[in-house]
Amino acid sequence: MDKLDLVIRDGLIVDGSGAPPLHGEIGVDEGKIVEVSKGSTLQGDIQIDASGLVVAPGFVDIHTHSDFSLLQNPKAESYIRQGVTTSILGACGRSCAPINESKKDLLIKDIIGYDPQVPLTWRSFADYLGEFEKRGISQNIAAFVAHNAVRIAVMGYDERAASKNELEEMKSLVGASMSAGAIGLSTGLAYPPGSNADTDEVIELAKVAANYGGIYFSHLRGTDGDFLRGAREALEIGEKARLPVHMAHFCGFFGNFEETQRGLSLIRDARNRGLDVTCDLYPYLAGANPLMAFFPPSIFNRTQSTLRSEFQDSNLRSECAKEIHNSELGAFWFNKPETANRIILFDLYAASNQPLKGKSLAEVARLKGMQVVEATLSVLAEEGENMFNTGIICKWMEERDNFAVFREPFHMVGSDGMALAPYGQLASFKFHPRAYGAFPRVLRKYVRENSILTLEGAIQKMTSMPAKRAGLLDRGLLKKGMWADLTIFNYDEIRDTSTYERPNTYPQGIEYVIVNGELVIESGEHTGKLPGRVLRHGASTRS
């Protein structure tokens, strides 16, 4: 055989299929894997000595929110350094396209970390995907067409069912996006504007995605309350629209193990009925949210200055507290002591609030001698212009529940994070440690330290499973003919270093990351290369 572009020698090959590891070498030429064998006979222009290292397919993240941040910094620092070579965008109903000019400002409200320095020059989903190709990216991406974006384009944040015409308009946007290469439809039915849609609307839109061979991805309705109700709805949508279903961050709340088990049984039963159902969950027990995310839309939709004056006045404050208590979301989060104990104030900006950092809402209420909601509102009044940024950590899971989900064969790893970098604009984000650490954390905590998963089982959940789920049939496995996306790491040293206190730190132990045959991480450092591609649905089966 002639000299190849790249040869990786003497590594422990974990091929992504779940099969036991084998020692050997991998040959890469013109961006693809051309040889996987036990020998050491290949010659390459570049040769990597992988002795003592694990060679795996590049990780595929089925659940990210890098829709905008990847345009801000195409190097995908916090993900490529975890070994993630493909990120799926448009999760949980949120995306940056399609855009209806007259509703553009409303869409901006739904874009995580929007920054006017990246102008929204595209309108269609096709042009949005093209934007990544224009700029170049260090990792591959594929994307869902997102329900929120589609609904905002047609009816803004209107709290009502769609009219017949509006539904037709939404269907045609979903159709256009699918034909431009979306891998399916995603929804976030737990929060506005997705929560304004009824089940029938989603079924009709999912049918359009089904016609193109797409899947249905859901951040469940009522995840913040009754997650089983949300799961049943997602399964109903899959069954009526006839398409595979993927449920995001799937786990019961607050250590309610019975509920977690019932949720997992719902999936098992549906799979036994023939429905193709999977889920993802990240390897952390707490989420990080803006505190305002727990308020009903009637409060959330008011302007900051209105809210500030209402929260400062004790009479108006108790009116707001009542409004929150009477809402479904508010009743769930603020009426129970077990919840107030699990919500910890974290990102506080006002000097007067600093002593409250790290305290639970229950403690804050005790200190202020107020009810939980009123105490929360008085904290927000102090925050003033930062009230929408005031962040909390919510310890919503117990380890037992989390591990139970990870043990299921239909679970895959999804970070639910966004591509960030500890420099430039994105450094100001204090998001969640998962944006920098989710994948290495699984290998450290779930494989090496707790033996919840085998190495090959964990790699499968990070590579071939999500690739297959996203319809990317030529990625996720180390096999002849597949695209050469690879992650090479030291098993004993791989670990996450990001924490809730210091979320913006890179993981350790990942030596090389290769995307489409090109080195993006070399000896632990970013080469600056941008070999990532936009992966359009159907393209991998056609070529």
Residues in touch with Zn ion (CB under 5 A)? 91-92, 416
Tell me whether residue 439 or residue 512 sits nearer to Zn ion (CB atom). 439
Considering the complex, what minimum distance in angstroms separates the CB of residue 403 from Zn ion?
21
Tell me whether residue 7 or residue 91 sits nearer to Zn ion (CB atom). 91
Tell me whether residue 91 or residue 320 sits nearer to Zn ion (CB atom). 91
- Element at 471 (helix H, strand E): none
Considering the complex, what minimum distance in angstroms separates the CB of residue 117 from Zn ion?
24
Considering the complex, what minimum distance in angstroms separates the CB of residue 35 from Zn ion?
38
In whole angstroms, give the CA distance from residue 398 to residue 454. 21
In whole angstroms, give the CA distance from residue 130 to residue 123. 11
Angle CA(404)–CA(409)–CA(411) in degrees, nearest 5? 65
In whole angstroms, give the CA distance from residue 32 to residue 146. 31
Rounded to whole angstroms, what are the CA distances from 398 to 109, 153, 319, 446? 32, 39, 34, 14
Identify which of 445, 423, 425, 450 has the alpha carbon closest to the alpha carbon of residue 434: 445
Place of tokens 């104030």: 345
Tell me whether residue 34 or residue 209 sits nearer to Zn ion (CB atom). 209
Considering the complex, what minimum distance in angstroms separates the CB of residue 49 from Zn ion?
39
Tell me whether residue 206 or residue 447 sits nearer to Zn ion (CB atom). 206
Angle CA(499)–CA(531)–CA(455) in degrees, nearest 5? 50
Tell me whether residue 379 or residue 397 sits nearer to Zn ion (CB atom). 397
Cβ count within 10 A of residue 123: 15
In whole angstroms, give the CA distance from residue 457 to residue 462. 9
Tell me whether residue 92 or residue 345 sits nearer to Zn ion (CB atom). 92
Eight-class DSSP state of 499: -
Considering the complex, what minimum distance in angstroms separates the CB of residue 95 from Zn ion?
11
Token pair belonging to 483: 């695209």
Tell me whether residue 398 or residue 416 sits nearer to Zn ion (CB atom). 416
Tell me whether residue 27 or residue 93 sits nearer to Zn ion (CB atom). 93
Token pair belonging to 458: 């964990």
Tell me whether residue 11 or residue 417 sits nearer to Zn ion (CB atom). 417
Q: Are 259 and 409 in contact (CB under 8 A)?
A: no
In whole angstroms, give the CA distance from residue 81 to residue 513. 8
CA atoms within 13 A on the CB side of 169: 16
Considering the complex, what minimum distance in angstroms separates the CB of residue 249 from Zn ion?
7
Rounded to whole angstroms, what are the CA distances from 172 to 179, 204, 396, 470? 10, 11, 38, 22
Token pair belonging to 398: 């117990």
In whole angstroms, give the CA distance from residue 522 to residue 517. 13
In whole angstroms, give the CA distance from residue 159 to residue 238. 24
Considering the complex, what minimum distance in angstroms separates the CB of residue 101 from Zn ion?
27
Considering the complex, what minimum distance in angstroms separates the CB of residue 92 from Zn ion?
4
Q: Are 75 and 526 in contact (CB under 8 A)?
A: yes
Sign of CA dihedral 374, 375, 376, 379: positive
In whole angstroms, give the CA distance from residue 198 to residue 148. 13
Q: Are 68 and 111 in contact (CB under 8 A)?
A: yes
Tell me whether residue 374 or residue 416 sits nearer to Zn ion (CB atom). 416
Considering the complex, what minimum distance in angstroms separates the CB of residue 248 from Zn ion?
5
Considering the complex, what minimum distance in angstroms separates the CB of residue 94 from Zn ion?
7
Q: How many helices (H) and strands (E) does the chain have?
A: 21, 21
Rounded to the nearest 10 degrees, the angle between the axes of helix 199-211 and helix 164-179 is: 30
Considering the complex, what minimum distance in angstroms separates the CB of residue 65 from Zn ion?
6
- Name the closest residue to Zn ion (Cβ): 92
Considering the complex, what minimum distance in angstroms separates the CB of residue 516 from Zn ion?
26
Tell me whether residue 13 or residue 152 sits nearer to Zn ion (CB atom). 152
Considering the complex, what minimum distance in angstroms separates the CB of residue 112 from Zn ion?
10
Tell me whether residue 91 or residue 535 sits nearer to Zn ion (CB atom). 91
Rounded to whole angstroms, what are the CA distances from 466 to 66, 88, 188, 302, 538? 17, 9, 19, 39, 16
